[in-house]
Amino acid sequence: MIRETIEKKKPVIIVEKLEKFFGSEQSRVKALAGVSFEVFPGEIVFLFGPSGSGKSTLLNILAGLEVPDGGKVVIDGVDINKMNKEEKAIFHREKVGMVFQAYDLIPSLNIFDNISLPLVFSKILPAKRREIVSKMLNDFNLSALADRLPAEVSGGQQQRVGVMRALICQPPIIIADEPTGNLDSASATEVMDLFARLNDDIGTTMIVVTHNPEQLHYADRVIHVLDGKVIKQTVHHHREASRPAKKNSWTTYVEQKHSKREEKIIKLMKIILSKTQLDGFAETEIERTAILIEAAIDKKITISALRKNLDLPTKDGGAGLYSNTAHHIADNIEALLEVL
């Protein structure tokens, strides 16, 4: 949805200083270390970050499946942790559709009945249910599988059925945790295109976790998460414009609109790296590198986290640099911080 329209609205989701710990007192893991952000109606927001950065924990709290240790979540004006069990059930059926990577379909029900289940709970009459589910199956090109049991279709198809089940009541908000994680790239594109279409057609608000940088162009805004913290948000004013550039990504990146702060990080990158190195980067690599350098300078992440994440492949949420380039940058930033 167009950014200017989005920004005039009130947030539909407010996440405030969320904290979550796991484990015993001796071996405490801080999964979320004070995460705050807002989501506006009609936005597609992606949560992007490496494995273990707290994305699933965050979504599980939004979905009401986990209770935070600190902070709060307000969805559509309601603090979700103040609802009782029954209120939560109705709330999630009507307001929030959830898509998870583990697509727990009911094994004894065929595909058709699995998808129509939420409509049964919402007391939609059988004839209407058949009409809605048939249309959905048709839209997803899966009509031929209607009578099969989950065990009789492929993993990718089961995942698409899970997505359909989450979408069938047309909830105003969809939360998806790596919804395309198990899919081949053609099926993944189909699912993402469907999300984009739902957003364009009926303004569904989406929060999608991914660690696939190739999907980020679907987002209106990307929230970068690392070590249980938001390290940066990138707004895409026009989704189309943010598609990866074809050649010389560095030039394209430098020509984009940047804040004063980002201009300085770009200058710093030019000092630390050679022109050949910079020209060899893909756009995602440049952007991730800049974000990580900024986070390290702000002491939001340690030098060793910087080193590790510069080296980590982009598909795992890192910057995807060659190891020696990653070390070179980390060494320079470390030296810089020592004299600051």
Over the window 47 to 86, marking each residue x when it contacts ligand ADP by CB under 6 A and - when it does not, the resulting string is: --x-xxxxxxx-----------------------------
Residues 87-126 interacting with Mg ion (rule: CB under 5 A):
none
| For ligand ADP, the closer CB: 29 or 78 | 29
Smallest gap from Cβ 175 to ligand ADP, in A, equals 13
From ligand ADP, Mg ion, none, which one binds at residue 122 (CB under 5 to 8 Å depending on kind)?
Answer: none
Alpha-carbon distances of 208 from 59, 97, 114, 319, rounded to whole Å: 9, 12, 23, 20
| For Mg ion, the closer CB: 52 or 71 | 52
| For ligand ADP, the closer CB: 157 or 215 | 215
From ligand ADP, Mg ion, none, which one binds at residue 172 (CB under 5 to 8 Å depending on kind)?
Answer: none
H-state helical runs in the chain: 3-7, 55-62, 85-94, 111-121, 126-139, 155-167, 185-202, 249-255, 260-272, 275-280, 283-297, 303-311, 323-339
**CA pseudo-torsion sign 91, 21, 306, 37:** positive
From Mg ion, ligand ADP, none, which one binds at residue 108 (CB under 5 to 8 Å depending on kind)?
Answer: none
Smallest gap from Cβ 17 to ligand ADP, in A, equals 17
Q: State the residue number with the nearest CB to Mg ion.
A: 56
| For Mg ion, the closer CB: 56 or 284 | 56
Smallest gap from Cβ 76 to ligand ADP, in A, equals 24
From ligand ADP, Mg ion, none, which one binds at residue 22 (CB under 5 to 8 Å depending on kind)?
Answer: ligand ADP
Per DSSP, the three-state class of 249 is helix
| For ligand ADP, the closer CB: 209 or 272 | 209
* Contact by Cβ (8 Å): 28, 290: no
Q: Any idea what the Cα angle at residue 176 is, between residues 174 and 180, rounded to 5°? A: 130
Over the window 28 to 67, marking each residue x when it contacts Mg ion by CB under 5 A and - when it does not, the resulting string is: ----------------------------x-----------
Please tell me whether residue 325 binds ligand ADP under the rule CB under 6 A. no
How many chain residues bind ligand ADP (CB under 6 A)?
12
From Mg ion, ligand ADP, none, which one binds at residue 210 (CB under 5 to 8 Å depending on kind)?
Answer: none
Rounded to an integer, what distance in angstroms lies between the CA atom of residue 16 and that of residue 270? 36
Q: Residue 32: name the closest of 208, 291, 230, 302 by CA.
A: 230
* Contact by Cβ (8 Å): 47, 206: no
Half-sphere exposure of 8 (CA within 13 A, CB side): 4
| For ligand ADP, the closer CB: 177 or 220 | 177
- Per the listing, tokens 């795992």 go with 316
CB atoms within 10 A of CB 216: 21
Q: Residue 258: name the closest of 285, 281, 286 by CA.
A: 286
Smallest gap from Cβ 22 to ligand ADP, in A, equals 3
Over the window 9 to 38, marking each residue x when it contacts ligand ADP by CB under 6 A and - when it does not, the resulting string is: -------------xx-----x-x-------
225 — phi, psi (to 5°)?
-115, 135
The binding site for ligand ADP (CB under 6 A) comprises 22-23, 29, 31, 49, 51-57
